[in-house]
Amino acid sequence: MPTIQYREESIRVLKGLEPVRQRPGMYTRTDSPFHIIGEVIDNAADEALANVAKNISVTLHADGSVTCTDDGRGIPVGMHPEEKRPTVEVVFTVLHSGGKFDKLEGGAYAFSGGLHGVGVSVTNALSRRMEVEVQRESAVHRIVFADGDVIEPLRKIGEVGPRKSGTKIRVWPNAKYFDSTHISVPEMERLLRSKAVLLPGAKVTLTIEKASGNETRTWTYPDGLKGYMKESLGEVDPVIPLFDGEKYAARGGETFAEGEGAAWVVAFTEEGPTFRESFVNLIPTPNGGTHESGLREGLYVAVKNFVDHHNMLPKGVKLLPEDVFARASFILSARVLDPQFQGQIKEKLNSRDAVKLVSSMVKDPLELYLNEHVEFGKKLAELAIKQAQTRMRAVQKVEKKKGSGVAVLPGKLTDCETSDASRAELFLVEGDSAGGSAKQGRDKEFQAILPLRGKVLNSWEHDRNRLYANAEIHNIAVAIGVDPHSLNDAADISGLRYHKICILADADVDGRHIQVLLLTLFFRHFPKLIQSGHIHVAQPPLFRVDAPGKGKNKPPRKLYALDEGELKAVEDHLRKEGFKENSWQVSRFKGLGEMNAEQLWETTMDPNTRRLLRIQVEDEGVTRIHDKMHMLMSKGESGARRQWLEMYGNEAEVDV
């Protein structure tokens, strides 16, 4: 067999927009071009958020292209001081470029959805053509791109009045990067309507070109969130009047940057479906995140304080956050200076500080409102208590069905107190040391801990009937209350003791290996747990930042970062707060065993601040994932693994 050469020229450096074209799925959704069009719309909305634009219009053309126009400031067209080419060209052709990085006072954007500078440059990379027109400083300029490259350099094409400004972008998505080039009109309507809701006074227009004549729809909400909520509720009457408000941090605050905060409207209803939408800097977050956790906590604490003050809680009933939140419909719009999202498509907020931010903004106004309107306060409290009683009755019914025939639980398992499987969580923790910290730091009411000794068996090729011979796998199966099965079995998982099973391992190579072995076990022998969304991977931070306290006599702060990129964002935030360079210290965790119980709870186990990745495989992807897992985990596939590593090994992230 010939020797494969590995020389200096074997190392490729991808420049410009080439990384996006090589791996588009790392930067955007590839089912349709909706997200890359959304990036352009988000930039127009950021102009409105900065109070420099009042009109946003989007046109879906008959040829599949999309145009977005705003009357904002217009992208700068002068020469960029570092790149030595027109700034508008830099914005569309250079990854990690844009005005959203300038967060200092007087910067172009104090709050925005754009964070990484890869938004419209990704749109350009994945479009076969893009035309940009800018009205700015009494002139109209035009530049045209094809496949990410400039084909018509920037030139002046006309003049306008000195007060006219704005940006017009037309995009032709490249079909080869997407499963389908169809853009869902209902999805586009929801996005544009939400922009209008969040920008009171702004006018948002959608035009759809058709052979029979154009269709135009316009949204404007002078009443903002409250008007949208009333429209969404329809005929449903809330238990108490809509609870709405907005609150933002003032200059010189000790905890949050000036302007950070939230606007919200909450409706509590007795029946019917709940309606919930959340946003961060105008970006929709359909998967929620820490800002929703903050709203949940703020509502709960306010109602709980009211209930305690009026001594309303019946004997034997414990009020939980979900009891208050269960019947809450809400629209939440958070403003966060440097938000951390899960992935480039920004569907979930991960910023830990957002929990405390939103909670602190919401709690006091609701508590004040309930105490000023005691009649409404008691109605809301009675609704929450009713939910708590219903929840407790449901748990009692489950307990009666179980009977007394329960397997002997593993001795290493530190179980939780609740019998409500829907609330219970099991953490599979790497090593006894980390297991000890997890036991001390957990919430014993609903979190159980099972420490694992060493690396779990690679179970890919093991017969199901032989699995119990391995002590670790035996303990896992007995603890979760589900027997091994295949996807085609009529397996019963109703006995599942924990609805969240969380793999908690070190953020290093050995930890990743343990994660893979456990995921192999669940995918191969407990597939219905993955199919039902019960398996999660916890994400402990890699870095701790010890920062000085803000203000005189304030205690020092401990901040955490998941990876290098988030560490940079934390340091940028400290600079924004006015701290001098090197006034903070950065340390790297070598493993979970280095964390004390409080740190492990705050960063990895607290439902309000932790990060859990849910592992779920769509039905149509099972065969593809099975084949890939077989190649990676089967003893007889070493040749295929070697070939795969030779092709893709250079793309792996290495932790040395």
Q: Which of 508, 572, 594, 606 is catalytic?
A: 508
Kindly write down the DSSP assignment for every residue of 473-490, as one continuous string. Answer: HHHHHHHHT-----TTS-
Q: Which of 47, 353, 367, 430 is catalytic?
A: 430
> The tokens of 633 are what?
């985990």
Detail the DSSP E strand segments found in 568-618.
585-588, 612-614
Contact 211, 62 (CB under 8 A): yes
What spatial distance separates the first Cα and last Cα of the chain, rounded to whole Å? 31
Q: Which of 71, 244, 353, 506 is catalytic?
A: 506
- Alpha-carbon gap, residue 526 to 476, rounded angstroms: 11
CB atoms within 10 A of CB 592: 26
Which element (helix H / strand E) includes 179?
none
| Strand order across the 585-588 sheet | 557-561, 543-547, 585-588
Nearest to 486 by CA among 519, 452, 529: 529
Q: Which of 510, 594, 606, 637 is catalytic?
A: 510
245 φ, ψ (degrees, to nearest 5): 170, 175
- Alpha-carbon gap, residue 46 to 99, rounded angstroms: 11
CB atoms within 10 A of CB 276: 17
Instruction: Quote the DSSP letter at residue 206.
Output: E
Which element (helix H / strand E) includes 159?
strand 149-159
Q: Would residue 420 show up in a list of annotated catalytic residues for this protein?
A: no
Q: Would residue 430 show up in a list of annotated catalytic residues for this protein?
A: yes
CB atoms within 10 A of CB 51: 11
Nearest to 584 by CA among 626, 546, 632, 622: 546
Kindly write down the DSSP assignment for every residue of 604-631, as one continuous string. Answer: II-TTT--EEEP---GGGHHHHHHHHHH
Residues serving a catalytic function are 430, 506, 508, 510
